[in-house]
Structures are given as C-alpha cells and as structure tokens.
Structure 1
C-alpha cells in the first residue's frame, strides 16, 4: 500500500476526519493503525465511539470529538447530563487519549442553534469540574454558510440571522480562550458558482492574484473564505479568537469537478499551504481534511466520494502529508 506520509505543518498538526457512515469500513482498531502507519497525527470523530477511543489510547493522535447534534438539547438543558457525558466519554479515556477539542455540535441549524451556547457552557463547566478546562478546549463547528457577506474578505460578516447566535458564541470563545471550528469548502463555492469562481482559484492553482483586498492579495479561495470568517469575528468585537479548520476537502467522483485528479490537487495543495496561514493571519492554520474513507451509507453522488482511502484501506490517490 502506498504511504500517505508523515505530517506536521509548521508545528500545527494536520488531521483527517473519520466519518463512519459506511457498512464496509475497517474496524476502529484497524483505522487507528492506518492513521499511525501514514503518520496522520490528528483525528476528528462526530460522536463518542468507545471502540475508536479505546484504539486511540497511547497513540498521541490529537482528537476533536463532537457532541452529536442529537445530544445538544439534553446537554444544553442539564448540567448533570453534561457531567455524565464528560465522565463517560472523556474522563474514562483521559489522559491515554489525547483529546484536544470538544466540538459541541456540527453545522447546527434551525431552532437548535439556540442550544449551542448553553451546551458549550455546560460541557466547559463539566470539564472544569474535572480539572480539564485548560487541557481540552470547548468549541462548536460551523459551516461557512453562517457568513452572509464574504466578498471582499475584509467585508466578511455573519448573516443577520447567524449574527444573533454567533455573536455570543464568539464572545464566549474569547473568554475561554478557545478557537472557532469551521468547515471550509471551496469545492461547494465553485460548484454553486462556476461562472464567477474558477476551478483554478478553488484548487490553489491560479497562476497569480485573483482578488486584491487592500494590501492583501488572494491567489486561492480557501484563504479568502478563512479571512472573511476572521473579519466576521472582528465585526462582533473578537479579533483574538482563532480558527481551526474542522473540515476541508474535495470529492473524487460523483458530481461537478469531482475527479481523482482535482481531489488530489486540492488536498495536496491544502496540506502544503496551511502552514503559511492566510494573508490576514500568516500563521500556521490547524486543519482537518475531510475525510478518511469513502462512506457508502451517505447519499449517492459526491457525498460518498470524499475519502482519502477506499474501505479496503487502499489510497484513492497518492498524497503526502508534510
């Protein structure tokens, strides 16, 4: 099997998201071995999973673990439920498992957005009671859709509807010294607007500057999206909150511009690029590539084709994490 190489970008780990919506995936123990054999030093899982957590013990793989969206209501409304969740899913495995972030919800939408902040506070309080609040950061993972204005990046602002809940969330992140987790997909922007967003701009392959914004010059859409999110946080008074890219990737089949060649280009260029940061904040940007495997229980089409690996553990394409 060809190697996907060791990783670290300017001291910041690059991880890979481990989705499990497949009925033909390797065992969790084999998946963790695949991360180790390829030098992948970060993982994201979308809910606590005891077999994965057990397999991660002693590996030093840094972990983002989500509070599943389905658990938001109970955790938001009960501090004792949050304490039980932390005891069962974090303290039972800590410090053998290297928890880095708890993502309280992923791309939460609709009426559930009001539950994000109270759930974050209850998880933070539970971690504090266990003395872990400085070791494990609490955040939530948002979609770029919360940003209503994104062009030019310096004009970035949350949409009016998102601003009502994102403003207190970002302000709370500042008080607990935690970053905002964000899922950034140039692929989706290109697919939805191919006329105005070129494939080269989305794939990091533009030969020169595409967007000039004051003194900042943008050669790729990823930087422009991240900087628009930084601008949105500045506009709610919190320029000191960092960003962790909790998902970014490109599908290899099943839809517009979804080819193995484009997926390989995007993910390799992403990995090579994020150690440099963005024009607005030129510092290493911790990033998690989506996703480890093609997942056959997702909707047909591109959704099933985001993996770096087939369920057989063979790489979909060669990539070097360096």
Structure 2
C-alpha cells in the first residue's frame, strides 16, 4: 500500500471523527439548564407622555439551544437587597424601594418561559401621575429588587439570581433640538442693535443644536456641552405653563438672563424663544426656534448604575 495514501487516510478519518465530536459541543444542549437575570443593576428610563408607562422585566433560560418545554420561575420582591447597594461606596447611589402604589406587575409571583422561547417576561405598568409628581422619580432613586425563588428548570445561577431595577423618567420634551434664528448685540442702553448674526440653514441637520435635560415633567435645562452658538454657551431653564407659554430663568450661578420667554408648540414639538441676556459686559437679544430632532426614546440605551 502506498504509505502516503495510508497516512492521508488516517489523518482524514481522525479529523472527521474528532471534528464531529467537537462540533457536537455547539449543537447539543448542556447537561443541565439554568435560569438567571441578565443584569443585576439595570437603570431603566421611561419617557413620560401623559399615559401610564410600561417596561418589561425578564429572566433568561440557558443551557438549551431550543426550549421544547414551558418553564416557570417564581420570584419575590426583596427590599433587603437594597442595603447591599446602599452600603457599597463604589456604587455611589442611595436607592429607595419603589412605592407599591406607583406600579403594578402583570404577574406578581412568576415568570413564564414559553415553549420556543429563552426569555420569560412580565409587564410592569408605572402610574404616570403618581410617578412624575414625585421629584425623586427623575433621578436614580427608586428601585425594584427581585430575587428568584424556584424554577422548573434544572438550576438557578446563584451569582445572578437577583436584579435591582432602578427606574426613572424623562420628559417627552427633553432631548436634542435643532436651533435656528438670530441674535442681536445691543448698545449700552439695551435698546439699539449694533450687530446682527443669523444662524439657520434650510437643511436642519446643518444647524446648531441644543440638548434639553429633564428638570420635571414640564421643566427643562440646557447643558453646557450642547447649547446654541447664539447664546454663547449661556445656560437656560425653561418652564412650560399650562397655556404653553414658556418662562425662561437663569441657571444658578449664571444669572445673566435679563428678560424673556417664549411659547411651546406641542404639535410640531418646537419652542419659539425670545430673550435677552448679558455676557462679558455686552447685552444680546436672541430670537430662537428649537425643533426637536427625534423622540427622546430613540436616545435611550441599555444602562447600569
């Protein structure tokens, strides 16, 4: 027999035999299944729009490529889990148990992982009026601590058997805005214009932008890193009244807003501002239109605290 042919045949047989055996590690289930929470310290942000707000909470089934059974996972709310977070200096948060009247759970005892699924979810509904009327709710303050108790799966991952879900809200009026308009430099009397500069482009994406941060359901504040060039970086606080009139106030330590206000157009999601401010000894008059880039929910990403 040709020795080279014999060696080649042996090598090919070995590769086929052991190669298939290794491949089986990827196509077969593990010896046991397990359930766990995917994140232990998630921060969930909801957009307040006027109606009750919903988020989903879930558990993961692992150890199976396919789930051919219906599995269940029971859980409980464990306030003591908050103590561990609050006492951890590296976490830098102080969490409080989310009041029971602020929310309802679609199932108060159990997650169900349906056949064909590897994730079991329940819907949590947050009471809009109660939540947004609480000033703590717009910060990382309230949390719901859940812990797995039992499961129909083979085991529970002991290192991930809990999740402490922090929940806060942002206003639907928050987020990024295109800015276009004009500003005028005034003389010493504050009555006459001595210089004019316009800032607008037909292509909205070529305009300056502002970022408005939530201070309350109808209160917003500009951020240093994202304000219109028209205002030379001046910070504003804006409060929208019931009649959609906008009251402009200076930010603490930046008291250079002289006067002004505006209106809010909820249909077009736009602000029309008219205000005066002082900076470096000069006075300016600004006429600015702010047009929301997109729904602030599009800027939300997975976060942990």
The answer, yes or no, to whether TM exceeds 0.5 is no
- The structure that is helix-richer by fraction is 1
**Greater relative contact order (Cα < 8 A, sep 6+):** 1
TM-score range, shorter chain: under 0.3
So what's the TM-score if we normalise by structure 2? 0.23
Of the two, which has the highest radius of gyration? Answer: 2
